[in-house]
Amino acid sequence: MQRNIRSVDDVLLMLDRLFARDADRWSADGGDWWDEFYADRDRDVPFFVAKPDENLVDYLERGPLCPGRALDLGCGPGRNAVHLAAAGFAVDAVDLSATAVEWGRERARDAGVEVRFRCGDAFAGDPATEPAGPYDLVYDSGCLHHLPPHRRVGYLALLDRCLAPGGHFAVTCFAAGSMGSEVPDADLYREGGLGGGLAFTPESLRWIFADLTEVELRRMRDEPPGSGRFGEPFLWTALFRRDG
């Protein structure tokens, strides 16, 4: 007989084990899965392109984003981090995959910009390794939909600690009806998996980030192959502001 629950962390780890078959993608040890994923740079993956998200470019061109300090969560090979650095931001970029981080460093060198890449778990809650805010922009392109529901608690706590008053938070994630699992949160624990990533509705995003002020929420625009921007309409793009 085991009685091994005496803290919130114990509860979170217990819930983690219910997602054992998907934990190699999102847990602190998930870098190995993503290292293999990113190892073949020629594979047909839409977001392997060296192009920034079209919504990010839009926010910079027409406002409201202005250069400051930025954190790129789950940065992958750094396409958005490099664009932010080129736009004048001081950028910290974090990802579980060492392979993705090294690819990002190569892209930054080729672009002649400085990005402070780090391989690790941004949500571990370790003051020694956690991204050091405050940030004027926290940007997430595809990280949120790979987290199990209970790990959103740490995600929101990180935003609360790191996002500066008046700062902006932007996220792109799977859109319900187009991409991702639409199984309710509670049922995910019975099934023990994330179905390759979770879909969200506009209402669910507004509810999750209710402590922030919505600036814009829309589908990502489809971008043609010759465009200098990345755009896939199976994603939501949302921009929120933390009021001062």
Look at residue 158 and tell me whether its pLDDT is greater than 70: yes
Rounded Cα distance between 169 and 136, Å, is 8
Look at residue 141 and tell me whether its pLDDT is greater than 70: yes
User: What tens digit of pLDDT does each residue of 15-47 get?
Assistant: 888 876 655 555 555 557 788 888 888 887 788
pLDDT band with cut points at 50, 70 and 90 for residue 153: very high
Domains belonging to the chain, first-starting first, are 8-241 (3.40.50.150)
Report pTM.
0.92
The confidence score (pLDDT) of residue 184 equals: 95
The confidence score (pLDDT) of residue 4 equals: 84
The confidence score (pLDDT) of residue 219 equals: 98
User: What tens digit of pLDDT does each residue of 79-97 get?
Assistant: 999 999 999 999 999 998 9
Q: Is 174 left (phi over 0), alpha (psi -120 to 50) or beta?
A: beta
The confidence score (pLDDT) of residue 93 equals: 96
Rounded Cα distance between 230 and 101, Å, is 19
Q: What are phi and psi of 236, to 5 degrees?
A: -85, 150
| Contacts (Cβ under 8 Å, ≥6 apart) of 77 | 38, 48, 50, 100, 103, 104, 107
The confidence score (pLDDT) of residue 27 equals: 53
User: What tens digit of pLDDT does each residue of 159-173 get?
Assistant: 999 999 999 999 999
